[in-house]
């Protein structure tokens, strides 16, 4: 595993915030965004930093730092994931919260954007410790989250189990009569704890659908296309799973432990089974060879899916990329300088706020079901998800063609214009 210095970590975090602001400024300049509304959208509404103690398995107490940044709620309650990662800090949370605002606006959802998490490496803690950390963090957040205020979801290194712990802790702080009405305080829950069918695959399925829509638009068949995936967690796995079903071939995978390659193709399900038996790592998988991590993005392939962390495609590796389509499963994987290089090369980038929005759309469906006391079947969820994503994709393609701009700028323009309209119609209090 590559260990970054504190200076390198700081550069990555600042880079994410710089990226989202530059993307916003670029789109705002093109549409001549009202200067007063611009001032509002440039800053976050609320930023919460909590320090809380947790007793470890050895009896010692450790202090953790948790974050929750609420960017904007003009369209509805704040919505966004919680991640457990050493790179989590206030700047990273600000950048990710802003992206969530644009993502929910673009998708036409009644949500604003938020993000947060805890600065820790979850591999260093037992399951019992992670449960206590999660419950104590939830308690520390208190009424700063809520089903009609701010609704967390899973993100990097968090999962349905994490959400179940948050749900149980939050509900236990309410009176018995109120508890069942707070089921939708988090989404991405296990099915038995009020989760939705299809939510587990919603993000990765959305990445696949955006690739499919783009291929249809270009009259390209996905069969026999070669793709590479960075990050073989929930998003990377499901995107690869559905692409493989279309006849495409996964030739390389990279995760936090290393990279593997097989030019003949890597079985998606065989690799998943291996990672489950191997503490989540892809390394040592018999159906592939080890690859130097530095050469991953320069592999000869058709589609590249960065589905791990932000700022992984940079000015340093962008010139070597051979894929003609990049589908952003992660948030902010491509920095601004890299994007300029790739667009000049004729590479198409399916931007994160469109490409990975299946997750928040799936979360919206779960929230609705909890709120209304309904249970939808898998086919119903996936059908609704495809319809919503196709609407977003079509809007982005049309705006891109009409204005002669790239897809990311088009997506930002659609998202910002929806928010601008809301502020114009509602006015500013007082």
250 by DSSP, 3-state: which?
A: strand
12: nearest Cα among 66, 67, 92: 92
Strands (E), 310-413: 325-327, 348-350
Task: Report the half-sphere exposure of 97 (CA within 13 A, side-chain side).
Answer: 31
Of 103, 115, 189, 212, catalytic: 115
Between CA 120 and CA 117 the distance in angstroms is 9
Burial 324-362 (b: 16+ CB within 10 A, else e): bbbbbbbbbbbbbbbbebbbeeebbbbbbbbbbbbbbbb
Between CA 63 and CA 44 the distance in angstroms is 26
**Other residues' Cβ atoms within 10 Å of the Cβ of residue 375:** 12
Tokens of 408: 């990311």
244: nearest Cα among 262, 221, 268: 268
413: nearest Cα among 102, 181, 68: 102
**Other residues' Cβ atoms within 10 Å of the Cβ of residue 30:** 15
174: nearest Cα among 185, 164, 159: 185
Is there a contact between 234 and 200 (Cβ–Cβ < 8 Å)? yes
Terminal C-alpha separation, the chain:
53
Q: Give the contacts of 194 (CB within 8 A, at least 6 positions apart).
A: 167, 183, 184, 366, 370
Is residue 115 part of the annotated active site? The answer reads yes
Question: Counting every residue, how long is the chain?
Answer: 430
**Residues with catalytic roles:** 115
């Amino acid at each position: 595993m590559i260990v970054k210095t504190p200076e390198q970590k700081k550069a990555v975090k600042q880079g994410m915030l710089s990226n989202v602001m530059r993307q916003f400024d670029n789109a705002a300049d093109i549409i001549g965004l009202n200067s007063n509304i611009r001032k509002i959208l440039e800053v976050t509404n609320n930023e919460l930093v909590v320090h809380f103690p947790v007793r470890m398995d050895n009896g010692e107490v450790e202090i953790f730092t948790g974050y929750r940044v609420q960017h904007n709620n003009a369209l509805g309650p704040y919505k966004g994931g919680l991640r457990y990662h050493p790179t989590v800090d206030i700047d990273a949370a600000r950048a990710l919260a802003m992206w969530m605002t644009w993502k929910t606006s673009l998708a036409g959802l009644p949500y604003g954007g938020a993000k947060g998490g805890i600065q820790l490496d979850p591999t260093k803690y037992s399951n019992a410790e992670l449960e206590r950390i999660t419950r104590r963090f939830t308690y520390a957040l208190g009424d700063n989250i809520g089903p009609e205020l701010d609704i967390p979801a899973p993100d990097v290194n968090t999962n349905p189990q994490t959400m179940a712990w948050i749900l149980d802790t939050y509900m236990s702080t309410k009176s018995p009569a109120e508890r069942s009405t707070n089921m939708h305080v988090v989404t991405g829950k296990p099915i038995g704890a009020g989760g939705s069918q299809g939510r587990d695959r919603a993000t990765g399925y959305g990445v696949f659908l955006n690739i499919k829509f783009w291929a249809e638009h270009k009259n390209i068949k996905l069969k026999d296309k070669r793709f590479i995936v960075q990050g073989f967690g929930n998003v990377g796995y499901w995107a690869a799973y559905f692409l493989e079903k279309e006849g495409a071939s996964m030739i390389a995978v990279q995760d936090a432990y290393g990279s593997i390659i097989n030019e003949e193709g890597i079985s998606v399900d065989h690799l998943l089974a291996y990672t489950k038996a191997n503490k989540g790592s892809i390394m040592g998988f018999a159906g592939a060879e080890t690859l130097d991590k530095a050469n991953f993005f320069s592999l000869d392939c058709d589609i590249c899916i960065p589905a791990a962390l932000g700022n992984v495609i940079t000015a340093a590796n962008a010139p070597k990329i051979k894929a003609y389509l990049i589908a952003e499963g992660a948030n902010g994987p491509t920095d601004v300088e890299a994007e300029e290089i790739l667009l000049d090369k004729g590479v198409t980038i399916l931007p994160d706020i469109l490409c990975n929005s299946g997750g928040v759309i799936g979360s919206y469906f779960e929230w609705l079901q909890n709120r209304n006391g309904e249970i939808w079947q898998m086919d119903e969820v996936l059908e609704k998800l495809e319809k919503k994503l196709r609407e977003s994709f079509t809007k982005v393609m049309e705006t891109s063609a009409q204005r002669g701009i790239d897809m990311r700028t088009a997506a930002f323009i659609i998202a910002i214009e929806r928010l601008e309209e809301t502020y114009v119609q509602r006015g500013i209090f007082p």
